[in-house]
């Protein structure tokens, strides 16, 4: 727990006079109630994961003052969200919606434009509107966390349904899904598993997507497409609307599950390992979004600071972390594969035997017997997560440095050995150059994988922040030159990442800008999010 406070002056959105802005907030308070409009005039408190701020990023990578809200407002209904949007249009105030604001590593609760009014939907819009035990679906508001959904399903005694969760369970089901986050059961692609949105558009109208547009339907959560253009995609990783309800599909309890872990000795084993994983994953023998993690993470996730192992500057030397690994139950290795097999024992047996035979084609590959692992071993956290039980253990590696913060490099590639090695070497080279420990993990989807590299840095040290930012920017450019793009990124890197998707003279961004100008003519909705700037900001020095 960390309670750093950072003093600052009150903030007024650019282009608005202070008196007009204060009066505008008073007007909004008349509509929402004065307790539901909070001016951000206090010191910035970072708190920690469970008590995170909603005014700024608790893991800043730029100067503290850069990405900060002027005020936070708390709607209680779709109608109140509409009122806020109409108000923002009237006064030309930039607004920035968050569900819970735990988007750590990607900007937290911070708005992209300093002085935006943050709409914290999670505080008062946190109802689970429906859990359907026949269709295996639910309908939620933005403030429903993975923990809350899991608990509600348990409380109703619906043991036949599971949810899918990311590594940390405190985020919002809607927020995570809209940012196209991932979890680790066969339902790990959250965006692919949602069905139906209710959205407040930047001009205040409300739409329901898919079957939700048909009055009296009973298929909003079971058939995502409806009729006509499939518009849902416009509302993920975008600034085209505020999602007030979302349907989500739930996984059937598979009737048994079993985690397994394999250790591989050498860095170069990554290449043949990926070649083995690909057909097994596409063929669904490897069933979940599994993780291939580097050994150094086995140490970092113990939760102790790196100084416990190495007090020098620069990345931890290999011999130092290898010495440490030898003392741990898993022993010396370079890569660990964490997976889970689902179904009753005879079904699992069938798949696990194939996996064992294939993985052991790599010389030195070992299956780790879970029996030898103590209760606090990270393996058991992965076991819970792959069974849809929310957890917080993953937070431990943030303690790797004092005042730990992190930011992610997350390029996408096919599940191929040659791509995995290219991305691994690219990341390693840049981390060495900037003197940063390299903590890579590959999350294997169905036909692609995300390499997730978390740079953990001391947020109170400007030089470390700068090194993290510079290292990331270099890696994004290096990756783009090789044809790799990020699946998601931090607020401060969105312009750069959007710019790498520039095929045919930036045709995609031109299309996004056309949509932005049509849907949000006053440019009030999350300006700059995903690199999409409305007309009145475009080309005026906002891009980073
Ligand atoms: P929010 O912060 O509320 O929202 C996320 C984004 O969506 C924001 O940019 C916001 O502007 C936009 N948004 C939110 N709600 C709305 C809305 N209603 N309408 C329009 N736009 C909206 N993430 C993963 O996906 N998988 C992981 O395994 C994972 N592991 C992590 C491990 C650690 C240690 C940490 C610190 C983070 C990890 N994360 C992971 C990142 C992050 O914690 C989660 O993705 C988290 O769920 C996102 O926060 P949130 O759900 O509160 O979303």
Q: Tens digits of per-residue pLDDT, 61-91?
A: 998 888 999 999 999 999 999 999 999 999 9
The confidence score (pLDDT) of residue 7 equals 60
Please indicate whether residue 176, judged by its CB atom, sits closer than 6 Å to ligand 1.
yes
Measured between alpha carbons, how far is 358 from 276 in angstroms, rounded to an integer? 7
Residues in the chain, overall count: 544
In this structure, are residues 261 and 295 in contact, taking their beta carbons and an 8 Å threshold?
no
Identify the pLDDT of residue 1.
45
Please tell me the distance between residue 163's alpha carbon and the centre of ligand 1 in angstroms: 16
HEC string for 422-482: HHHHHHHHHHHHHCCCCCEEEEECCCEEEEEEEEEEECCCHHHHHHHHHHHHHHHHHHHHC
> Among 36-40, 62-66, 96-100, which is the least confidently predicted range?
62-66
- Domains of the chain, with CATH numbers? 5-120 (3.30.43.10), 128-252 (3.30.465.10), 257-493 (3.40.462.10), 501-531 (1.10.45.10)
- Residue 418: what pLDDT? 97
What per-residue confidence (pLDDT) applies to 298?
Answer: 87
Could you tell me if the CB of 142 is within 6 A of ligand 1?
yes
The strand pairing partners of 226, in sequence order, are none
Looking at ligand 1, which atom is closest to the CA of residue 184?
Answer: 28
Q: Is 286 exposed, middle or buried (0-12, 13-18, 19+ CB in 10 A)?
A: buried
* Least confident window among 11-15, 23-27, 102-106, 241-245: 11-15
Catalytic residues: 106, 487-488
443 lines ligand 1 (CB under 6 A): no
Best mutation site among 167, 194, 243, 528 for ligand 1, i.e. most ligand atoms within 8 A of its Cβ?
Answer: 167
Whether the CB-CB separation of 284 and 192 falls below 8 Å is answered with no
What pLDDT score does 41 carry? Answer: 87
How far apart, in whole angstroms, are the C-alpha atoms of residue 479 and residue 485?
Answer: 7
Phi, psi of 287 (to 5 degrees): -95, -25
Question: Closest by alpha carbon to 407, among 115, 69, 58, 48?
Answer: 58
Asked if residue 47 has pLDDT above 60, the reply is yes
Which protein residue's CA is at the shortest distance from atom 32 of ligand 1? 167
Mean per-residue pLDDT over the chain, rounded: 95
Distance, first Cα to last Cα, the chain: 31
pLDDT at residue 5, as a whole number: 60
Ligand 1 center–CA 179 separation, angstroms: 6
CA of 392 to the centre of ligand 1 (A): 14
Q: Ligand 1: does its nearest atom lie under 6 Å from the Cβ of 179?
A: yes
Protein residue whose Cα sits closest to atom 11 of ligand 1: 98
Distance CA 3, CA 158 (A): 39
Evaluate: CB of 64 within 6 angstroms of ligand 1: no
Measured in Å, residue 452 CA sits from the centre of ligand 1 at 15
**Token pair belonging to 170:** 């405190």
Average pLDDT over residues 123-136: 98
Question: Ligand 1 centroid to 175 CA: how many Å?
Answer: 5
What distance in Å separates the CA atoms of residue 415 and residue 273, rounded to the nearest whole number?
10
40 lines ligand 1 (CB under 6 A): no
Q: From 92, 96, 94, select the one nearest 108 (Cα to Cα).
A: 96
- The string of DSSP codes covering 440-456 is EEEEE-SSEEEEEEEEE
- Region 458-469: what's the mean pLDDT? 95
97 in contact with ligand 1, CB cutoff 6 A: yes
Atom of ligand 1 nearest to the CA of 142: 18
Q: What number of other Cβ atoms are within 10 A of residue 313's Cβ?
A: 6
Token pair of 374 as six digits: 């103590």
Residue 167 C-alpha to ligand 1 middle, in angstroms? 11
Residue with CA closest to ligand 1 atom 42: 103
The whole-number pLDDT of residue 3 equals 52
| pLDDT tens-place string over residues 301-330 | 999 999 999 998 899 999 998 999 999 889
**Residue 10: band (very low, low, confident or very high) from pLDDT cuts 50, 70, 90:** confident
Asked whether the beta carbons of 435 and 463 are under 8 A apart, the reply is: no
Q: Minimum mean pLDDT among 41-45, 122-126, 312-316: which range?
A: 41-45
Better pLDDT: 190 or 1 = 190
What are 232-237's contacts with CB under 8 Å, separation 24+? Answer: 232/194, 232/197, 234/515, 235/178, 235/197, 235/199, 235/209, 236/177, 236/178, 236/179, 236/180, 236/191, 237/178, 237/179, 237/180, 237/488, 237/529, 237/530
Task: Return the percentage of the chain with pLDDT > 90, whole number.
Answer: 92
* Helix (H), strand (E) counts: the chain: 14, 21
Q: How many CA atoms lie within 13 A of 439 on its CB side?
A: 19
The per-residue pLDDT for 64 is: 84
Q: How far is the CA of 100 from the centre of ligand 1 (A)?
A: 8
C-alpha–C-alpha distance, residues 163 and 249, integer Å? 8
Is the confidence at residue 349, as pLDDT, over 60?
Answer: yes
pLDDT at 316: 94
pLDDT for 4: 57
CA-nearest residue for atom 25, ligand 1, is 181
- The 10s digit of each residue's pLDDT in 270-283 is 999 999 999 999 99
- DSSP lists the bridge partners of residue 97 as 119
pLDDT in tens, 362-421: 999 999 999 999 999 999 999 999 999 999 999 999 999 999 999 999 999 999 999 999
Ligand 1, atom 37: nearest CA belongs to which residue?
Answer: 104
Whether 464 shows a pLDDT value over 60: the answer reads yes
| Token duo for residue 208 | 């329901």
């Amino acid at each position: 727990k960390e309670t750093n406070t950072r003093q600052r002056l009150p903030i007024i959105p650019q282009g608005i006079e202070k008196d007009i802005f204060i009066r505008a907030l008073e007007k909004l308070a008349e509509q929402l109630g004065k307790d539901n409009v909070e001016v951000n005039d206090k010191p910035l408190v970072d708190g920690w994961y469970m008590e995170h701020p909603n005014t700024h990023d608790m893991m800043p990578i730029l100067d503290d003052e850069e990405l900060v809200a002027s005020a936070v407002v708390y709607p209680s209904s779709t109608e109140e969200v509409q009122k806020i949007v109409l108000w923002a249009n009237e006064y030309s105030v930039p607004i920035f919606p968050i569900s819970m604001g735990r988007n750590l590593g990607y900007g937290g609760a911070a708005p992209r434009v300093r002085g935006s009014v943050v709409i914290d939907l999670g505080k008062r819009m946190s109802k689970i509107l429906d859990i359907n035990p026949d269709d295996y679906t639910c309908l939620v508001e933005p403030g429903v966390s993975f923990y809350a959904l899991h608990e509600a399903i348990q409380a109703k005694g619906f043991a036949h349904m599971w949810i899918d969760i990311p590594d940390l369970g405190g985020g919002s089901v809607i927020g995570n899904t809209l940012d196209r986050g991932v979890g680790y059961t066969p339902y790990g692609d959250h965006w692919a598993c949602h069905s139906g949105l209710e959205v407040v558009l930047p001009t205040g109208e409300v739409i329901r997507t898919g079957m939700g547009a048909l009055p009296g339907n009973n298929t909003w959560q079971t058939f995502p497409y409806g009729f006509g253009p499939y518009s849902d995609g416009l509302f993920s990783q975008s600034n085209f609307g505020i999602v007030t309800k979302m349907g989500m599909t739930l996984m059937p309890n598979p009737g048994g599950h079993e985690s397994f872990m394999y250790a591989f000795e050498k860095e170069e084993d990554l290449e043949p390992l990926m070649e083995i994983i690909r057909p097994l994953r596409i063929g669904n023998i490897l069933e979940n979004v599994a993780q291939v993690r580097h050994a150094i993470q086995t140490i970092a996730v113990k939760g102790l600071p790196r100084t416990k192992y190495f007090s020098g500057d620069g990345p931890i030397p290999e011999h130092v972390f290898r010495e440490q690994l030898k003392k741990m139950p898993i022993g010396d290795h370079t890569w660990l594969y964490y997976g889970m097999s689902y179904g009753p024992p005879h079904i699992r047996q069938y798949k696990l035997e194939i996996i064992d035979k294939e993985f052991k084609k790599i010389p030195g590959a070992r299956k780790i017997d879970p029996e030898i692992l103590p209760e606090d071993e990270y393996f058991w956290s992965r076991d819970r997560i792959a069974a849809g039980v929310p957890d917080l253990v993953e937070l431990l590696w943030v303690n790797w440095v004092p005042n730990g913060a992190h930011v992610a490099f997350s390029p996408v590639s096919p599940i191929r050995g040659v791509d995995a090695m290219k991305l691994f070497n690219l990341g390693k080279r840049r981390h060495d150059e900037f003197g940063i420990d390299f903590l890579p993990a590959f999350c294997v989807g169905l036909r692609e994988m995300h390499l997730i590299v978390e740079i953990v840095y001391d947020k109170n040290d400007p030089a470390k922040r700068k090194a993290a930012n510079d290292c990331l920017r270099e890696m994004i450019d290096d990756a783009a030159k090789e044809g790799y793009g990020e699946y998601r990124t931090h607020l401060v890197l969105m312009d750069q990442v959007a710019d790498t998707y520039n095929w045919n003279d930036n045709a995609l961004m031109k299309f996004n800008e056309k949509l932005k100008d049509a849907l949000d003519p006053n440019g009030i909705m999350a300006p700059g999010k995903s690199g999409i700037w409305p007309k009145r900001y475009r080309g005026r020095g906002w891009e980073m």
